[in-house]
Amino acid sequence: MTETNLPVTVLDARVVTGTGGGPEKTILNSPRFLEPLGYRMICAYLHPPGDAGFDSLRQKAMAKEAPLAEIPDRGPWDVSAMAALLRLCRREKVAIFHGHDYKTNALGLLLRRLYPMRLVTTVHGWVRHTARTPLYYRIDKLCLPHFERVLCVSDDLVAECRRIGVSPRKLVLLENGIDTEEYQRTQPIDVAKQRLGFDPERPLIGGVGRLSPEKGFDLLIEAVGALRSQGLPLQLVIVGEGDDQPRLQAMMEKWGLQADGRLAGFQADTRPYFEAMDLFALSSRREGLPNVVLEAMAMGVPCVATAVAGVPKLIADGESGRLVPPGDAAALTEAIGELLSDSGKRQALARVARRIVVERHGFAQRMERLARVYDELLHGGARRQGRTRSPIHAAP
């Protein structure tokens, strides 16, 4: 095999705590799709030492045969993380460094001074607001214009990157995708409900995501509580973990959902929960293009979603789901109630939604577009001939 036919090594780097979220799913699912296209991808995660939640990502990496590099990260001033990344880049002959957050973007710029490689980043959005968010945003604002390609998962992020000074020629809209073979219904709703301990005779409303304020699960609890007060025998399940769990649990009790509401915590496989839902609700105040909506649509679950960021491009109101204004509990309540009263409408929306995901948001299609970005960056657009290679589990 000649040197030019060897797979190009790409290092995707991201800081993660706990079990991760949508971006982690996308990253770990990518290597097996990129390998036939000529790119060998290593998933490098910087994480706190001893983080118990990280074990779930190890298991996902093994299940997806994704090469995983674990980088212990003790905080902003831990120079050993950068040293470990540099060793990894040199040992694996990394050609493309692909950052996924403010810290890995900054590290990528520093590493390129010590090791020659091309720089790409994906902007997933600045949706989680904490006391440090303004600092992270400022760091990204300084870093992003220096990357050779800046991939954005939604149109609003493209516009924001332009606003902070990224050249339009560097910007690429690369929306999230879903593996539609993996995400498809395998059992009827009533059977799925029974297996999870829900009443098969009563409608189940569901949400999935990190338990933090920007996800708006308080609005979902309020909406379901209001509909129950009108006499609808609803059940509610919210899948995910996070710091907002105590507040949300208190809200469940306030609305009388102790018996019929469940905070299901982290679930390594959310598909059984999607299959049990009569309706999926995205109640987020802020988002990019959320994987959970794509997953629900692929599973054939009718959706009510807030019209944030890239969601209106994905869901056409009344055709493939229902859209409501973000932060509006009354509108969310009305839309959920409307769809619960019309099973035919729910089924029609679900069929269209599944077709849209299959035709426009398949994961293989997304990886083809990503490979073209790499091709253009390295070879002026000429497609390399892919070679298969068994995945490795890299260590720093």
- The SS3 call for residue 311 is helix
Model pLDDT, residue 125: 80
Q: How many CB atoms lie within 10 A of CB 390?
A: 7
Model pLDDT, residue 2: 44
Model pLDDT, residue 233: 94
Which domains are assigned to the chain?
Answer: 3-177+362-379 (3.40.50.2000), 189-359 (3.40.50.2000)
Residue 231 CA, chain-centre distance (Å), reads: 35
Quote the DSSP letter at residue 317: B
pTM as predicted = 0.85
Residue 107 CA, chain-centre distance (Å), reads: 22
Stretches where the chain sits below pLDDT 50 are 1-2, 386-396
Task: Characterize 308-342 residue by residue with b for buried, 16 or more Cβ atoms within 10 angstroms of its Cβ, and e for exposed.
Answer: bbbbeebbeeeebbbbbebebbebbbbbbbebbee
The pair of three-digit structure tokens given for residue 29, joined into one six-digit string = 């699912």
Q: Kindly report, residue by residue over 285-296, the tens digit of the pLDDT.
A: 987 778 899 999
Model pLDDT, residue 130: 63
Model pLDDT, residue 382: 61
- The SS3 call for residue 94 is strand
* Backbone phi and psi for residue 331, each to the nearest 5 degrees, phi listed first: -65, -40
Model pLDDT, residue 384: 56
Model pLDDT, residue 379: 85
Model pLDDT, residue 3: 52
Radius of gyration for the alpha carbons in the chain, expressed in angstroms and rounded: 21
